[in-house]
Structure 1
Amino acid sequence: MLNMNWAVFCQDTVTGDAISGCFGTGQDFTYLDWIFKAWGWTVGVSLTALLVALVAGSIIGVMRTLPDSPWLVRFGNAWVEWFRNIPLLVQIFCWYFVAPSIITPMQALPPFVLVVLALGLFTSARIAEQVRAGIQALPKGQRYAGMALGFTTPQYYRYVILPMAYRIIIPPLTSESMNIFKNSSVAFAVSISELTQYAMQVGEETSRPVEVYLAVTVLYVISALVINRIMAFIEKRARVPGFVASGAGAGGH
């Protein structure tokens, strides 16, 4: 039977002394303070990378459906294959070690930005597939209707195609939103103080890895459930009545 000692989170991170109330004051920090700070870093990395992924993935996904721009289609296909087929950890190392040595101004960027770029662009390839699938799941009459109204290509994508496509790809976007949060754990490899980095360091310092990893696991589960509930609410509000797109999101798996 494991001898659990949850009081470890109430210890001072420097002296190891127990602190009443479990939260430090002034320059005194407990491991409980530290875990919430690490959680904040995880949330910050995940949400910022998700924003990058949504913007880049939407642009690339649209490129891959432009019938009169074969070079843009090829570029979009190359983007997806490049970022989807290289392991995320390798991409993070490339952004952190390789890119700054080639592009000198990148040496001034903090590790947070480099990790966000790596995670965001990695996820953008999957979102691009979902956006492409969502667009292609729509009846061709949607496109023709926009053209008949005199819309330019950017206009009928903006006002006709994309509003419908986004509404039908919310389920796979929910999965990607949860995945990007879990994938943020690889940021420990470049010393970002997120939850996984916290668990490794505090587990070694306190010799209580069971309690530490259980607490971190609970925070990951809570975060994923919150994202799931938020996206479920959005899906319910944005659902297209009577519309079933069997192909949407297939490319993201």
Structure 2
Amino acid sequence: MNDVNFTSLFVDLTSRLGLNYEFLATGYEAQIWRDGFITTLYLVAVTIPVSLVFGLIFAACLTSGRLWLSAPVRAFVELTRNTPTLVQLMFSFLVLNTFVSNLFGGAQNNPLSPFFWVVAVVGLHVAALHAEAIRGGIEAVPSSMIEAARGMGFSQFEILRYVQIPLAFRASLPAIVNGLISLVKSTTVGNAIAVSEITYASIMVWTQRDNVVELMIVLLAFFSLINFLIARAGSWVERKLAVPGYGLSA
């Protein structure tokens, strides 16, 4: 009952300002909108770790010194960062997804949902950006540190794991945070393949209510809040991981 009263009060107060949020008082449209918020948060929560994990893997391949590892990853990175995310998503969903459907004997047997393709495409797109940032950080690690680790008997993999990647991550953290902010914004491409994230849900509502301005205000505030929190978290991590004398001050 309290929720109903609060919603009615909000709708009444905003209507006095000339804003139309009457749909919040209807069960169906309000539920679509709430589900859109939840789906966007799910997308962000799943896609961020995907981008970070694959960003590290790609960076390791690019700096491995092995052509059979670096060449295909370099080709993927160049293709991914040089083409629009929306084009990549449409290609994946209309071409690769169709191939998977045919492989499994029809769309009804396809195990890959539109949600999966948004996570995969956006996650790998941002992973390519992370990879370049981390690669630059790895290559910036002083050779004296690498030689010292080698002199202590570290293998090439151990040098990468215990010396280069920790230092590279610290140096590339600002670029990684920028990539994560871009990732959050890129989740909106999901509306192109009918993933019911918040922009898709908002379009569903405003086509019936003609309240584009009202919903756009909320969308701008919603994404601004998420990215503000990511930026603040990134700044906190930078301070915690700072190494005096190495790129970031204490």
The structure 2 residue matched to 1:53, chosen from 51, 55, 61, is: 51
What is the match of residue 88 of structure 1?
85
Residue equivalent to 2:96: 99
CA distance in 1, matches of 2:184, 2:115: 15
CA contact (8 A) 2:149 2:159 kept: yes
Q: Distance in 2 between matches of 1:36 and 1:146?
A: 52
Match of 1:177 in 2: 180
Q: Give the RMSD, CA atoms, in angstroms.
A: 1.9
Q: Point out where structure 2 has 5 or more consecutive residues left out of the alignment.
A: 1-15
SS state of the match for residue 110, structure 2? helix
Tell me, in whole angstroms, the C-alpha distance in 2 between the residues paired with 1:150 and 1:223.
Answer: 44
Shift of 1:3: 6.2
**Gap runs ≥5 in structure 1:** 13-27, 246-253
Offset of residue 228 of structure 1: 0.9
Relative to structure 1, the CA distance from residue 240 to residue 6 in structure 2 (aligned partners, 3 Å threshold; closer, same or farther) is farther
Contact 2:23–2:209, Cα closer than 8 Å, also in 1: no
Please give the alpha-carbon distance, in whole angstroms, between the structure 2 residues aligned to 1:125 and 1:47.
18
Q: Distance in 2 between matches of 1:60 and 1:146?
A: 23
Matched with 1:40 is: 38
Deviation of the 1:242 alpha carbon: 2.1
Q: Distance in 1 between matches of 2:41 and 2:126?
A: 16
Post-superposition offset of 1:102: 2.1
The size of the alignment, in residue pairs, is 227
Aligned equivalent of 1:76:
73
Deviation at 1:30, TM superposition (A): 5.2
TM-score normalised according to structure 2 size? 0.84
How many angstroms apart in 2 are the aligned matches of 1:107 and 1:86?
27
Q: 2:18 maps to what in 1?
A: 4
**2-side partners of 1:147 and 1:243: how far apart?**
20
Taking the aligned partners of 2:213 and 2:120, their CA distance within structure 1 comes to 32
Alpha-carbon shift at residue 174 of structure 1 (Å): 0.9
Deviation at 1:221, TM superposition (A): 0.8
Offset at residue 203 of structure 1 (A): 1.0
Offset at residue 6 of structure 1 (A): 4.2
Aligned to 1:4, the other structure's residue is in SS state coil
- Aligned-residue offset at 1:9: 4.4
1-structure distance, mates of 2:23, 2:232: 29
Q: Does 1:205 align with 2:219?
A: no
**Code of the aligned partner of 1:125:** A
Identity %: 26
Higher helix share: 2
Instruction: Measure how far apart 1:78 and its partner are.
Output: 1.0
Is 1:120 aligned to 2:123, yes or no? yes
Q: 106-115 or 153-162: which moved more?
A: 106-115
Local SS of the residue matching 1:169: helix
Amino acid at match of 2:151: A
- Are 1:43 and 1:181, in contact at CA under 8 Å, matched by a contact in 2? no
Q: Is the 8 A contact 2:23 2:29 kept in 1?
A: yes
Query: Counterpart of 2:11?
Result: none
The answer as to whether partners of 1:4 and 1:211 remain within 8 angstroms in 2 is no
